[in-house]
Homo-oligomer: A and B are copies of this chain.
């Protein structure tokens, strides 16, 4: 156990040893083991966007085993997916990689201006599949947000009681937000705070822009001169919003980009801002496996060089 992992675990004093053990499994697996940094492979796009859009760019990815192998081969800290994908490989790859069961999902067969998610798996499912954490998506800003917070509350309580960790995908969305607002720095910071207050161990958000959505927030950003000009500064603000860095916050890359330089620049910004890592889906599995392994290796190189951060002001 490295001092950095020991330090991170010390922030979760309310959790039982079972949950700490599972957090430690996540932090101590793969190429970034012990660094306090995380790179996770998430594959829920088959559900969220449809199978052809997700897997036709790299047809072996239709097969659920592919993603286990990719995550293991790349040395990721964990692999996160919905129930069906995990059921299809949990026995075959048992013990080879920490698993995160996504417990709610939605599809794009309907578009709702105030989106919601269906409960698609349970905490008990996570336990029987040998997962170390449950994943749960919330949409702060949606008309369904309070219902989602309440569902998450129950899942988180049951997960913690059973020694699992809780990973929250916190995605601002809904009729109260503009399209730019969904990734605005104030809104993403707020989404991180909400997830942390709801009891998340790990929070996953999108890399924010410098857009500020809410007037009341803009007033504060201006008056207090909160630096948000560069991506690294925005990451640093997001980390502040995660209990001054006492909650693990990781960033998603969004749609597949074909300019790896741009992708790696983002990773450098996350690292520079004190972010804890990345969750990289479409940029991983929508390219040939060799290319994916090379790209993920480059990402991990950046995080592996990070000196860490003490997490307090």
Contact = CB atoms under 8 A, between A and B. Distances in A.
Interface of A: 11-15, 46-47, 49-53, 55-57, 59-60, 62-65, 82-92, 105-111, 116-122, 124-125, 128-129, 140-143, 145-150, 153-154, 157, 172, 174-177, 186-187, 189-190, 192-194, 196-200, 214, 216-217, 220-221, 224, 226, 237, 240-241, 243-244, 246-247, 312-313
Contacts of A83: 153, 197-199
B217 A145 contact: no
Given A56-B220, A57-B224, A118-B149, A51 B109 contact: no
Nearest to A148: B118
A152 to B, nearest CB: 9
B199 A124 contact: no
Nearest to A46: B193
A107 B51 contact: no
Contacts of A176: 109-111
Given A157-B125, A241-B62, A220 B53 contact: yes
B313 A60 contact: yes
A244 B64 CA distance: 8
Given A11-B88, A128-B14, A146-B116, A63 B110 contact: no
A64 B14 contact: no
A153 B118 contact: yes
A241 B146 CA distance: 31
A217 B46 CA distance: 12
B198 A120 contact: yes
Contacts of A49: 216
A121 B244 CA distance: 22
